[in-house]
Structure 1
Amino acid sequence: MDTSDTDTAGSGPRTLRRGLQILRTLQENPESGLNVSSLARITGLQRPTVYRLLAALVEAGFVKNLSGTKRFIASQHAAATAIEQDPRIELAFPVMQKLAALTGDAVFLVVRDGYESVSLWREIGPYPVQILATFAGKRQPLGVGSGGMALLAKLDDQTVEDIIAHNSNQLEQYGGMTAREMRQLVQNTRTRGYSVVGNYAVRGALGVGCALCDAKGQPYLAISVTAITERMPATRQKEIAGLIQEGLKTIAGKI
């Protein structure tokens, strides 16, 4: 049960513990954020205490208000501490900010690590309904999201087959995806020039992704934009892919 925050010998550590409790709760609920009432209920803290701690966390950059709502989410500055020094984040960050502003939707930076994709960063646009499909540090089988699919499609056929075979036992967990469907998505991505993946990793979401290769022709990073399916007709998918590809050209010039 919450108690008074009067200045006593133990108030500093107690306040710190409560602030970390708020931050941890938000990190454990990354999909759509939480409002003050939900935070108070989950943590057992009084609403005035939650308001005060949130204000401090927002000011420090650890928490963000989800634009147009009364919900709060953990900032990537907190979620990605261990990997924020990755040079790919620094390269992609300005492009991602611009894409989030232009599209209004969530933008993700994804890289390959063996058989998996790893999300390095996330920028959230101003549109009030967001699909926060993943978060910094999250791993999943390469290809189940639009960023991972863009990376997978850049690999040679044998490597694609090896990855699909290795991950085959996990694919069912992602909206019932099958190895056959993943092969078809790879072909579609290669034909189209960008990936379109919907309703697999996250229901009601559709993502568009493009990948950038290094000088050796290996996928270096991918950027994707994800929104609710209703906001992603085919014409907008193509438009967003064009915006991502323009951003990737900017990054390519700095590698």
Structure 2
Amino acid sequence: MDDEATDPRAHTSEPMPGTRSIERTLALLRELSHRGDFGWRLTDLAEQVGLDRGTCHRLLACFVREGFATRYPGDVKYYPGQQLFELGLGMPMYHAFRDRIEPRMDRLSRATNSVASFLLRSGEEMVCAFQRHGDLELPGMLIRIGSRRPLFSAVGGLVMLQRMPADQAQRILDNNRREEVERRGTRRLEDLDRMRARSAQAGYGLTRGDLAPGIWAIAEAVLDTTGQPMGALTLAGSESTLTEGWLAQAHAQLAETVQDIAADAALCLRAPG
């Protein structure tokens, strides 16, 4: 059986008949939810999800009424609403998973003098679910909790693509590249291709300032019980403090922690009953 036929994380870019309005609404919720600290201006959010301004405004007004979005006095932006938090309370297995892996991430972050991030696969994208900084702050770091990115656009996603069957990975890569060009044009493609080539040569996710100048990062995939990547763990630091010698040592510690997290996921994220 095709793995994607039963994988709830898999999706196609083509809407199913009769579901276009639902998929449009869900796309808007996804984009809204990943900028909790910064919010969205109506025009920017409409452009991001490919909606006309009027349709986006009507949907957001509904979200505000129902508690899925919020606005603050004197602020023109839209932010995630309390209902999104409340919905997450119904998934205690993810809270248990977080409680198990965040101490591991904290120890790894401090031992390697880097920021540790756990990225969940979400179809052809990834979302930063947990992050531990230790004593380090990286102002130029692009990934924050709630950040959502196409898989091919960061080392965590690249290593997940490396661990997938080749045809599946190529299909996602092609879709990611097409969406990148539609949304941003071609200006980042050379940098993205360089990061992907660097990661392929290393055998794990690796960047040396390819997208964020001065930021180095490595990543390893966390596999589920079927051998499919369900997430990735990344370490990011500044090139001013990290060295070539750091890469080998940090990768060994990263790989060991990833094995522990895979065991945590198998324990916590199993079917009820």
Bucket of the pairwise TM-score, normalised by the shorter protein: 0.5 to 0.7
Residue 207 of structure 2 corresponds to 197
Matched, 1:28 2:47: no
Matched, 1:125 2:168: no
- Between stretches 169-178 and 201-210, larger displacement belongs to 169-178
Q: Which runs of 5+ in 1 are unaligned?
A: 1-24, 30-77
Rate the CA distance shift 1:174–1:134 in 2: closer, same or farther, 3 A. Answer: farther
User: In structure 2, how many angstroms separate the alpha carbons of the residues matched to 1:174 and 1:200?
Assistant: 17
Determine which structure has more spread, i.e. the larger CA radius of gyration. 1
Across the aligned residues of Structure 1 and Structure 2, the Cα RMSD in angstroms comes to 3.3
Q: Which runs of 5+ in 2 are unaligned?
A: 1-34, 40-81, 267-273
Matched, 1:138 2:138: no
Do 1:206 and 1:226's aligned partners in 2 also have CA atoms closer than 8 Å? Answer: yes
Do 1:148 and 1:222's aligned partners in 2 also have CA atoms closer than 8 Å? Answer: yes
Q: Please state how far the C-alpha of 1:148 moved relative to its aligned partner.
A: 1.4
User: In structure 1, how many angstroms separate the alpha carbons of the residues matched to 2:185 and 2:207?
Assistant: 12
Do 1:145 and 1:207's aligned partners in 2 also have CA atoms closer than 8 Å? Answer: no
User: In structure 2, how many angstroms separate the alpha carbons of the residues matched to 1:174 and 1:137?
Assistant: 24
Matched, 1:151 2:160: yes
Residue 224 of structure 1 corresponds to 234
Residue 163 of structure 1 corresponds to 172
Rate the CA distance shift 1:127–1:113 in 2: closer, same or farther, 3 A. Answer: closer
- TM-score, normalised relative to structure 1: 0.60
User: In structure 2, how many angstroms separate the alpha carbons of the residues matched to 1:175 and 1:196?
Assistant: 22
Amino acid at match of 1:110: L
Matched, 1:241 2:254: no
Rate the CA distance shift 1:194–1:203 in 2: closer, same or farther, 3 A. Answer: same
Across the two proteins, how many residue pairs are aligned to each other? 181
Between the aligned residues of both structures, percent identity stands at: 17
- 1:76-155 equivalences under 5 Å are 81=85, 85=92, 86=94, 88-127=97-136, 129=138, 131-155=140-164
Do 1:115 and 1:142's aligned partners in 2 also have CA atoms closer than 8 Å? Answer: yes
Rate the CA distance shift 1:244–1:130 in 2: closer, same or farther, 3 A. Answer: farther
Rate the CA distance shift 1:96–1:200 in 2: closer, same or farther, 3 A. Answer: same
Runs of 4+ off more than 6 Å: none
- Three-state SS of the structure 1 residue aligned to 2:145 is coil
- TM-score, normalised relative to structure 2: 0.56
Q: Please state how far the C-alpha of 1:229 moved relative to its aligned partner.
A: 2.6
Q: Please state how far the C-alpha of 1:226 moved relative to its aligned partner.
A: 1.0
Do 2:125 and 2:151's aligned partners in 1 also have CA atoms closer than 8 Å? Answer: yes
Do 1:103 and 1:125's aligned partners in 2 also have CA atoms closer than 8 Å? Answer: no
In the TM superposition, what whole-angstrom CA distance separates every residue of 1:30-50 from its partner, at most 9, and x where no partner exists?
A: xxxxxxxxxxxxxxxxxxxxx
